[in-house]
């Protein structure tokens, strides 16, 4: 049988019972649509996490205090602090694979100024901080090395702090009081939004680290050191270089490290691997609908074989081979599956867009998911359509002609 004739006969058979065809395809439509929505949500979550982690900084490396041991029990990272500004300066001076280094002196206190007061995080940093965090100033200017050396009382505030203390106004040049110390605002940071942990990155005030140590914290030790590798490929090598410089700075010799070095790639891998597992699980659950849709196609095709027994007998009597009948029923089954897959694809895209609009989630459908969904729907048509088609092809022409 010619391909054109085969497709014509198959399409006529499908269109002959429109309502039954639509109901048969419904399972495939729901299955493909559900898979597309679940994959879009999962892939969107991965994309959002990567964006949030990348917002932490460019090739970011974090040096934190090491762990302390009390009574034989390890107290965990950050419990034994020996980090100093001298360590950051040594890394800046000797690090060949580092493009920027900044100590971070952190505290949290009340800030008074403008139209009220606001409790926020105060970070004492160097001029390299903006480079490391890939941040910019939208109004005013960031402080300079001379301001850090002189320990000047100047501050750059985040967007959240600016909105709460100076709603609708430009705070540059205004005075604020951090704790009991007056500061002059020189700039406002560009909005970054929340990080992967849900923390508002714009709820911060940046001051020179020298000023933070002398005027606010009073501590010689610093909370952490941030560094940026020259490029992403050099991050592991840069970490090893940092460890060598830090061990030399702390004169550890054969002792264990009293510091911890982490990078954002490790954080990203942990976060994205979790979302990959969840999106895969959701897609697998949604795929059950495709299985149900395939069973529906098989049932309808079996009914169709029974209804068209005389028709099959007549075709065989005038010369049609069993392979022609087999191919005809397979084409009908695959056509319904693929058509249902395409409709489900459109429904999935629409559902993902609607879900993103309602919930505010980021949704993203990779092209591979589209190809897999449509290909899988066609495979369902072949798999579940083969038995009815084989049954039709195996009919005895004489018995088929006698069938009432």
The model's pLDDT over 29-45, given as tens digits with 9 standing for 90+, comes to: 887 888 888 788 877 77
Report the chain's terminal Cα–Cα distance, integer Å: 26
Distance between CA atoms of residues 67 and 76, nearest Å = 5
Res 55: pLDDT = 56
Q: Is the pLDDT higher at 38 or at 167?
A: 167
Average pLDDT over residues 356-384: 77
Q: How far is the C-alpha of 221 from the C-alpha of 58, rounded, in Å?
A: 25
Using one digit for the tens of pLDDT, what is the confidence trace for 168-192? Answer: 888 999 999 998 899 999 999 999 8
Q: Distance between CA 236 and CA 328 in Å, rounded?
A: 60
Q: What tens digit of pLDDT does each residue of 106-128 get?
A: 999 999 988 889 999 999 999 99
DSSP 215-254: III--SS-SEEEEEESSGGGHHHHHHHHHHHHHHHTT-TT
With bands split at pLDDT 50, 70 and 90, how would you rate the model's confidence at 224?
very high
pLDDT exceeds 70 at position 400? no
pLDDT of residue 70: 41
Integer CA distances (angstroms), 144 to 52, 86, 226, 373, in order: 28, 19, 18, 55
| 311/207: higher pLDDT | 207
pLDDT at 213 over 70: yes
Please say whether the beta carbons of 186 and 156 come within 8 A: yes
pLDDT of residue 69: 44
Strand residues in 258-312 grouped as ranges (E)? 259-263
Residue 229 has pLDDT above 60, yes or no: yes
Dump pLDDT digits (tens) for 274-323.
666 766 676 676 667 777 777 777 777 777 777 777 777 777 777 767 77
- Quote the tokens at residue 176: 């604020």
- pLDDT value of position 121: 93
pLDDT in tens, 52-72: 655 555 588 999 887 544 444
Phi/psi at 271 (5° precision)? -70, -45
Specify which residues 177 forms β-bridges with.
Answer: 112, 182
Max Cα–Cα distance, the chain, nearest Å? 105
- Choose between 46 and 342: higher pLDDT: 342
Average pLDDT over residues 21-28: 78
pLDDT tens readout for residues 237-265? 999 999 999 999 988 887 888 888 888 76
Dist CA 357 CA 354 (whole Å): 5
The pLDDT of residue 216 is above 60: yes
- How much of the chain, in percent, has pLDDT values that exceed 90? 29
């Amino acid at each position: 049988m010619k391909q054109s004739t085969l497709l014509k006969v198959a399409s006529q058979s499908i269109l002959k019972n429109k309502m039954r065809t639509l109901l048969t395809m419904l399972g495939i439509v729901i299955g493909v649509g559900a898979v597309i929505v679940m994959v879009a949500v999962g892939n969107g979550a991965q994309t959002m996490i990567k964006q949030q982690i990348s917002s932490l900084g460019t090739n970011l490396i974090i040096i934190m205090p090491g762990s302390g041991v009390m009574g034989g029990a390890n107290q965990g990272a950050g419990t034994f602090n020996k980090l100093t500004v001298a360590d950051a300066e040594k890394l800046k001076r000797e690090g060949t694979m580092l493009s920027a280094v900044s100590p971070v002196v952190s505290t949290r206190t009340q800030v008074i100024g403008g139209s009220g007061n606001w409790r926020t995080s105060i970070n004492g940093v160097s001029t390299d901080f903006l480079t490391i965090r890939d941040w910019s100033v939208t109004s005013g200017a960031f402080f300079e090395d001379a301001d850090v050396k002189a320990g000047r009382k100047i501050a750059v505030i985040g967007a959240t702090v600016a909105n709460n203390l100076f709603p609708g106004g430009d705070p540059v040049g205004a005075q604020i009081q951090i704790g009991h110390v007056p500061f002059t605002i020189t700039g406002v940071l560009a909005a970054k939004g929340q990080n992967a942990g849900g923390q508002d990155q714009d709820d911060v005030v940046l001051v020179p680290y020298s000023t933070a140590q002398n005027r606010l914290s009073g501590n010689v030790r610093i909370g952490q050191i941030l560094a940026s590798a020259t490029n992403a490929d050099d991050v592991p090598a840069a970490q090893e270089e940092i460890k060598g410089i830090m061990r030399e700075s702390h004169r550890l010799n054969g002792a264990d490290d009293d510091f911890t070095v982490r990078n954002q790639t490790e954080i990203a891998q942990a976060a994205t691997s979790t979302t990959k597992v969840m999106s895969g699980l959701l897609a697998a659950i949604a795929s059950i609908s495709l299985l149900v849709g395939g069973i529906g196609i098989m049932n309808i095709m079996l009914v169709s074989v029974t209804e068209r027994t005389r028709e099959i007998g007549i075709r065989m009597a005038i010369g049609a081979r069993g392979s022609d009948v087999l191919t005809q029923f397979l084409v009908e089954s695959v056509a319904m599956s693929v058509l249902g897959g395409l409709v489900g694809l459109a429904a999935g895209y629409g559902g993902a867009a609607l879900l993103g609009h309602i919930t505010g989630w980021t949704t993203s459908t990779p092209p591979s998911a589209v190809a897999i969904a449509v290909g899988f729907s066609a495979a369902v048509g072949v798999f579940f359509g083969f038995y009815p088609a084989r049954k039709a092809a195996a009919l005895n022409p004489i018995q088929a002609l006698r069938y009432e």
